Structure 1
Amino acid sequence: MSISFGRMSVQTIVFRISFSLWIPTLYFFRTSIVHAGLVASQEPQRSDGLCSTFVLPYKTYACQEFVAQTSDGFLIGVQRMWRPDIAPRDDDRQPVLLFHGILTGGDVWVLNPPDEALGFIMADAGYDVWIANYRSTAFSYGHLSFARSDKGFWDWSVDQLASEDLPSSLELIYSKTNKKIYLVSYSEGAQATFAAFSQGLCVDLVSKVVLMAPVSYLTSGPQLIDIASTLRLQRIYESLNIYQLSTRSPGGKELVDLLCAKSSIRCYRDWFRVFSGFICCINASRRAFIDQYETQATSVKNLDHYTQQVRLGTFAKFDYGEQGNMALYNLKAPPAYDLSKFPSNRLPVLIISSANDSLANPVDVGHLLREIPAGFMHQAVQNIGHLDFVLGDTSNRVVYDYAMEFLR
């Protein structure tokens, strides 16, 4: 028996994926991939960086590029933006880190106009705004040893975002400011925060936390997650030596086209709904501009970690199989993240979720809220989809007002 999606069977989908992979599938930076000379805290010069592309053209804002180096060799792009006319000195500004989600980059905090994008809104309020771009995103800086075409560059999941990218970003900010940091995490960024903090990592660097559209448990998900879980896409991809998922390559567009099943041949243009489900409030007139920068690549292993959670109903580390788990964890099954150790009983935490979020859906968020210690605040909003949290033109009122009030 074959599983069908529209008129296509699984066998047809696998054949078409295989055929499409003869097309070049790797999406390269416009600048050099491996910056072996860069070290943490350096200020690189990059004409196509986040600062020069999105922030500095407004003239009102100052912006600097930094690099945070992880212990496994990734060079995380971290941008710092502020309003010199509002808070001209470092000691006048409270640092805040904005940590993005899966298949996006740090640009989501500044893609919308200044009155709608959280990065600008926080800078206008006098904050010292830092934006992390974790490994593989276009506004990061590659790896000390691997190029993007290497398998090793893509051998990671949310486990490494929690153990490496988030702590490295926070440590860089603390080294520059000597202040505890407000953390605003979105989507997979929130999931990495839960994973890191439940292990006691970098908690002492943070003084307040806002978690928006918080992913943790995944009983179901949008179209991409559900179909990837059914097809075990990681096995298909790895058999063909493909380790990244990117809609910005010809093969990636073909894959998304297949995942859309009943939609048109050009359905990769509606990646918004394929990856995040319901959307209410993204300005259609800005789609062409947003499509220049999003989506951004993630590892197939990272996507498979999501599908593992759907299949097993757990929030746990990556499953390497019984033999691999014994070697790495000394357990037959991957260990669950112990959310009872999340410090919501001793650290101010605000969680903002939406009843219409297809990825961080109410059932899974409810499961999460029952697991973490009491003491947190929870704000449920209506009629906001997953991507609307960062790209919607109403989020400045529907979502960010709650975050700003909490941080004040």
Structure 2
Amino acid sequence: MVVQLKVLAATLLFVAFLHISLSEDVEGFRERRAPKIHPHTFLPTPGLIRARGYPAEVHHVATEDGYILELHRIPFSPHRSLGGNPNPISLSQNNVKRSLQLQLPNATAGLQDRSSLIGNNLEQKEPKVVFIQHCVLCSSADFVMNDPNQALAFILSDAGYDVWLGNIRGNIYSRRHRTITAKNPKFWEFSWDTCARYDIPAMLQYVRTNTGANQVSYIGHSMGTTMFFAMMNIHPHINSWVRVMAAMAPVAYMHNKHAPIGILSPVINGIDRTLTQRGKLEFLTPTKSSSTLFSGLCSEVLLIRSICKFFLDALAGPSARNVDPNYLPVIVAHTPAGTSFRTVTHLLQLVRDRRFQAFDYGPTDNFKVYGTARPPRLDLAAVTVPVGAFWSDNDWVADPRDVQLTVRELGNVVVNHRVQHNSFNHLDFLWAENAAALVYRHILDLLGRYN
């Protein structure tokens, strides 16, 4: 506990340092770093996709409660359309370079031209469609920030999948609502179980409608799995929409986690109430200035990069630098991507209460919302979809002990895969150069059984 408190204190000091630096000298910092800024640093997800030579589409879907979500799509792979090797994990370096140089026409939102996609799936009765959902403070960008033979979305595209990347309400891509703006505190009064009720179902239905697929494959990372599990309690019929689910670093139970932020769990409801009263429920929304600063702090300067590494390790688990250090400045310019503080509160409630449950408003408001003093437990057995669980020993968020509790309660686990690498941490599932060999090829095998 003493060690964790020291780490937490150091982490908070680092955040304070960022706040001071951001408010006092961001412009000067940006100007000094500008000549070495990577060209991908400020590209949105569609730009990152096109920069690698893949087509990108932007789609929007409105939820039942009025939020407007942005989805990103890679409808087909240039490797397959050019007759290249459909196995991205074994692509030669020459093929990777060719994909970087190829610039395909800009694919726009909607269904203006599906001929390439249809042609790619003529031999199939049902389109091969996969939907990928990000974690807390993440976005669609996290699945395309690597070389084509290393990033999950590109690997799936090269394997013949129509790839859709979701963005839940409140992140940088989904900050609109039909009647209120993101400046209104009411916009931010949601947690991940709200997203499980509205956002994930809306996006899945949109994908099914626009692809003609009755069923899609689902891949989630961390909170992307939490929302999936909760959704099946709220909308059990959605089990029939999903062929198979790949759960990377699955999160339902969290009380064994090592990450120092868990120390805040006993007082998190009080913090949440205070912020709600002050109308401050928006959390870590990125700006151009903050993205520049984060990128610079993870630059090639050894001392500064050490601070960056300490901060990331405190959040996700000690790393053996599985992430390309030269591309890390690009990655941290996109992540964190913003969310509501209530979403973080809800995750820490799982730590505090040692149960997988709906949001805890406190006894009085729980009676108003649920009719009971405690929030209802969410039943993992409600998930009847075949599930593959992919986890690692070095994950400080999805601790192996918590993962095994989750696996035991899920109704239909068909793969329980431990990553064979001692220093593979929570964020390595997204960004590691070796994730393709350690995780993604196994996910491809899993999806292949059901497609």
What is the TM-score when the length of structure 2 is the normalising length? 0.73
* Residue equivalent to 1:319: 360
Look up the equivalent residue of 2:212 and give its one-letter code: N
Cα distance in structure 2, aligned partners of 1:8 and 1:293: 23
Look up the equivalent residue of 1:148 and give its one-letter code: A
* Residue equivalent to 1:70: 63
* Equivalent of residue 273 in structure 1, options 313, 329, 344: 313
In structure 1, stretches of 5+ residues that fail to align are 25-46, 258-262
Deviation at 1:350, TM superposition (A): 1.1
Q: How many residues align?
A: 367
* Residue equivalent to 1:342: 383
Deviation at 1:62, TM superposition (A): 1.7
Deviation at 1:8, TM superposition (A): 10
What is the TM-score when the length of structure 1 is the normalising length? 0.81
Deviation at 1:131, TM superposition (A): 0.5
Structure 1 residues 223 and 235, CA gap change in structure 2 (3 angstroms): farther
Deviation at 1:348, TM superposition (A): 2.6
* Residue equivalent to 2:87: none
* Equivalent of residue 252 in structure 2, options 195, 206, 216: 216
For 2:56, what is the secondary structure of its paired residue?
strand
Cα distance in structure 2, aligned partners of 1:237 and 1:251: 22
For 1:284, what is the secondary structure of its paired residue?
coil
* Residue equivalent to 2:410: 372
Cα distance in structure 1, aligned partners of 2:415 and 2:440: 15
Cα distance in structure 1, aligned partners of 2:59 and 2:350: 34
Deviation at 1:129, TM superposition (A): 0.4
For 1:62, what is the secondary structure of its paired residue?
coil
Deviation at 1:140, TM superposition (A): 2.8
Q: Which moved more, 1:95-104 or 1:372-381?
A: 372-381
* Residue equivalent to 1:206: 242
Identity of aligned residues (%): 25
Cα distance in structure 1, aligned partners of 2:258 and 2:185: 27
Cα distance in structure 1, aligned partners of 2:63 and 2:318: 35
Are 1:242 and 2:280 matched, yes or no? yes
For 2:243, what is the secondary structure of its paired residue?
strand
Superposed CA offset, 1:207-264 (max 9, x none): 111111101111043545313325433245335432122174799999xx9xxxxx99
* Residue equivalent to 2:48: 54
For 2:219, what is the secondary structure of its paired residue?
strand
Structure 1 residues 309 and 375, CA gap change in structure 2 (3 angstroms): closer
* Equivalent of residue 119 in structure 1, options 153, 159, 164: 153
Cα RMSD for the two superposed structures: 3.3
Are 1:80 and 2:73 matched, yes or no? yes
For 1:355, what is the secondary structure of its paired residue?
coil
Are 1:162 and 2:196 matched, yes or no? yes
Structure 1 residues 298 and 220, CA gap change in structure 2 (3 angstroms): farther
Look up the equivalent residue of 2:253 and give its one-letter code: Y
Cα distance in structure 1, aligned partners of 2:364 and 2:329: 47
* Residue equivalent to 2:118: 90
> Hey, which of these two has a bigger chunk of helix by percent?
2
* Residue equivalent to 1:296: 337
Structure 1 residues 267 and 240, CA gap change in structure 2 (3 angstroms): farther
In structure 2, stretches of 5+ residues that fail to align are 25-41, 82-115, 122-126, 298-302
* Residue equivalent to 2:232: 197
Contact 1:322/1:333 (8 A) holds in 2: yes
